[in-house]
Amino acid sequence: MPLRITFVAAARSSPLLAERFEDDRPLDQAGWDEVQRAAGELLPLAAAELRYCSPIPRSRATGDALGYAPLVQLALRDCDMGRWRGLTLGEAMAREPGAVDAWLADPRATPHGGESLLAFISRVGDWLDTRPVGDGGRIVAVAEPSVIRAALVYALKAPPSTYWNIDVRPLSTTTVTGRAGRWTLRFEGAPA
């Protein structure tokens, strides 16, 4: 039986337009309220055999608030953005427009002095590929939207530029099934 890994996007710590690279702020009140509203739907995922989270405070807080008691996985941390850490995209663009353009255009670029998009996708993919294989094991992982986007690009073997075309909303779930090197995106739910 294949593994089933369900990613839960962390609740927010700021309004969408104020999101920062490697944002390590805790959940804001709106994020806590979102977790409370979504808890009934997300709570059953706590039955997963393995429960993980990113080391980012809002991911840990989301997992804890949902009763997952997740284990922190360093490989699920956000992309290392070097000197852009803590900046919004607009702030980075205002300071270094050419560097931001290079970073957006080339998945190997590291103008910020941190991790390239390609290295980030590979790191998250390596985490996926090293999950324990069992009899149809179920795993839940609470992570930043960027980590989930990287996992999807890896799982689908899509070009790195696909990363920019995936929208992951707070507290949304995304499931991949399979095993190392052979992942399938799974959409669940019944039609209304």
Task: Spell out the SS3 assignment of 26-88.
Answer: CCCHHHHHHHHHHHHHHHHHHHCCEEEECCCHHHHHHHHHCCCCCEECHHHCCCCCHHHCCCC
1 has pLDDT over 90: no
- Give the model's confidence band at 134: pLDDT under 50 very low, under 70 low, under 90 confident, else very high: low
Dist. CA 179–CA 5, nearest whole Å:
10
- Give the model's confidence band at 67: pLDDT under 50 very low, under 70 low, under 90 confident, else very high: very high
**pLDDT score recorded for residue 15:** 59
Which residue in this structure is represented by tokens 């991911």? 59
Residues in Cβ contact with 41 at an 8 Å cutoff, skipping those fewer than 6 apart: none
Over residues 126-144, mean pLDDT: 87
**pLDDT score recorded for residue 190:** 46
Residues in Cβ contact with 92 at an 8 Å cutoff, skipping those fewer than 6 apart: 21, 84, 99, 100, 112
Which residue in this structure is represented by tokens 């993980």? 52
Q: What is the pTM of this model?
A: 0.92
**pLDDT score recorded for residue 181:** 87
CB 168 within 8 A of CB 144: no
Q: Are strands 173-179 and 182-186 parallel, antiparallel or unpaired?
A: antiparallel
Asked which of 8-17, 116-125, 157-166, 176-185 is least confident by mean pLDDT, the reply is 8-17
Q: 3-class DSSP state for residue 137?
A: coil
How deeply is 105 buried, as exposed, middle or buried, from its count of CB atoms within 10 A (0-12, 13-18, 19+)? exposed
- Give the model's confidence band at 16: pLDDT under 50 very low, under 70 low, under 90 confident, else very high: low
CB 81 within 8 A of CB 114: yes
152 has pLDDT over 60: yes
- Give the model's confidence band at 136: pLDDT under 50 very low, under 70 low, under 90 confident, else very high: low
- pLDDT of 109-133, one tens digit each? 999 999 999 999 999 999 999 998 7
**pLDDT score recorded for residue 189:** 58
CA 76 to mean position of chain CA atoms: 7
- pLDDT of 17-43, one tens digit each? 567 777 777 888 888 999 999 999 999
4 has pLDDT over 90: yes
Greater pLDDT, 102 or 31: 102
92 has pLDDT over 90: yes
Structure tokens at 97: 């427009």
